[in-house]
A and B are shown apart, each in its own frame.
Chain A
Amino acid sequence: GAGVSQTPSNKVTEKGKYVELRCDPISGHTALYWYRQSLGQGPEFLIYFQGTGAADDSGLPNDRFFAVRPEGSVSTLKIQRTERGDSAVYLCASSVQGRLGNEQFFGPGTRLTVL
Chain B
Amino acid sequence: GEDVEQSLFLSVREGDSSVINCTYTDSSSTYLYWYKQEPGAGLQLLTYIFSNMDMKQDQRLTVLLNKKDKHLSLRIADTQTGDSAIYFCAEIMNQAGTALIFGKGTTLSVSS
For chain B, the count of residues having a C-beta within 8 Å of the partner chain is 26
Stretch at the interface among A14-22, A38-46, A64-72, A79-87: A38-46
Q: How many residues of A contact B (CB 8 A)?
A: 30
The answer to the question of A1 belonging to the interface, with a C-beta cut-off of 8 Å to chain B, is: no
* A97 to B, closest residue via Cβ: B98
Judge if A33 is at the interface, Cβ distance under 8 Å.
Answer: yes
Q: Are A48 and B102 in contact (CB under 8 A)?
A: no
Q: Which of A46-97 contact B (CB under 8 A)?
A: 48, 55-56, 59, 91, 93, 95
**B30 contact set on A, CB distance < 8 A:** 100-101
Contacts A100-B30, A100-B92, A109-B42 given; indicate if A43 touches B102 (C-beta within 8 A).
Answer: yes
Indicate whether A99 sits within 8 Å of B104 (C-beta atoms), given known contacts A91-B43, A106-B43: no
A-binding residues in B (CB < 8 A): 4, 30-31, 35, 40-45, 48, 50, 88, 90, 92-93, 96-105
